[in-house]
Amino acid sequence: MGAGLSTGSGLAAVLRTAARVRLWHRGVDRAEKALDRLGLSGRVAPRAFTPEALSAELTPGDIVVSMLPAREHDALLRVCVDHRVHFACSSYASDTMRALDPVAAANGTVVLAEAGLDPGIDHLFAHSLIGRAGERWGDAPARVRFTSYCGGVPAVPNAFRYRFSWAPRGVLGALRTPARHVANGVPVTAVRPWEAAVTRTVGGETFEVYPNRDSVPFIAQYGLPPQWSVDTFVRGTLRLEGWLNAWEPVFAELRRGDDTRIASLADELAARHPTTDSDRDRVVLTVSLDVRDDAGDTWEGHYLLDTVGDAAESAMARCVSRPLADGVGQILHGLLPAGLTCAARGADDSERALARLAEQGIDFTRHLPD
């Protein structure tokens, strides 16, 4: 579902295991153009989406893979559960997904969410680190610092330190959403997330990072041992150095809070700083875990994914679509349980998924204690 920029080479990966694949979009012409761009014309059937047309083609055991905006997932999911059709997306699990979890589990429907880049690969990195540290640390108490930052940035920096490749209003809307995280052992909320930005050195390069959304529920989702005391826990966004200064006029508008003006500004910024066919994007994802005790014993590990797009595909499309395709393959092979699954189910499952992604061209590095 959807023929946008994130519908990348993962679609070709799905073809290696699926008996038949259809690409649905608002119009057949847009779907055909996407298939031509991906070199898949003649191998995938394009379709014009309406709820009625989709429902007419669904049969139990099919999988609906949604690359649509997150707000459109819930309606699709209800159709899937009614038809006993599996559902997969790269977006965060919604309240509706969680509410339908027992219904889906009862009728054998798999609901896969958070199976892209962020959320997705970041979860795999986190589960792997926490599992490795837990094996080393055992049942002893410890203090923990966990950070996870991800960003899509221009491969060649521009003066604005950013280029728009997805809905510009969504970018500004995310900055207007308060972000909750743990700092100095207590949950805190950054009403204006960019005001909580700090610099961070990754691979010898300086970036600017800030919290995003609500990090706190992921302490439980990642399964941090209860004897660990959390000093820092933050999931956030990464930007190029100089982004804060370049965006100060934008922040001034966000502080004023005029919805009409902000909507207009989003369109203006996208027109002034678009991602063109000649531009290359870069994805940077860094996840770190620091575990230590009062005696000075420490365990530190981190993952880094740093990749650039090419003429065939953007880095963002590659890093979103291939993990999602891997999850679809797991559903096709009957390896995921009915009900809701969010990307990973622990350290061992995550490391197996990361090994498969490495074979599929998702490159990353891992640094763990000896």
pLDDT tens-digit profile of 260-294?
999 999 999 999 999 888 999 999 999 999 999 98
CATH class of the domain at 121-313+362-367: alpha beta
Integer Cα distance of 182 and 174 in angstroms = 19
In this prediction, residues 311-337 reach a mean pLDDT of 93
> 252: how many CB neighbours lie within 10 A of its CB?
9
* 308 contact partners, CB below 8 Å, separation of at least 6: 155, 280, 281, 282, 315
Output the pTM of the full model: 0.94
List, for residues 336-367, the tens digit of each pLDDT value. 999 999 977 789 999 999 999 999 999 999 99
Average pLDDT over residues 54-81: 92
Q: Which residue has the higher pLDDT, 206 or 36?
A: 206
Q: What local confidence, expressed as pLDDT, does residue 8 receive?
A: 75
Residue 252 has pLDDT above 70, yes or no: yes
According to the model, what pLDDT value does residue 5 have?
67
- The domain ranges of the chain are 121-313+362-367
Distances (CA, A) of 221 to 29, 286, 298, 317: 41, 19, 23, 26
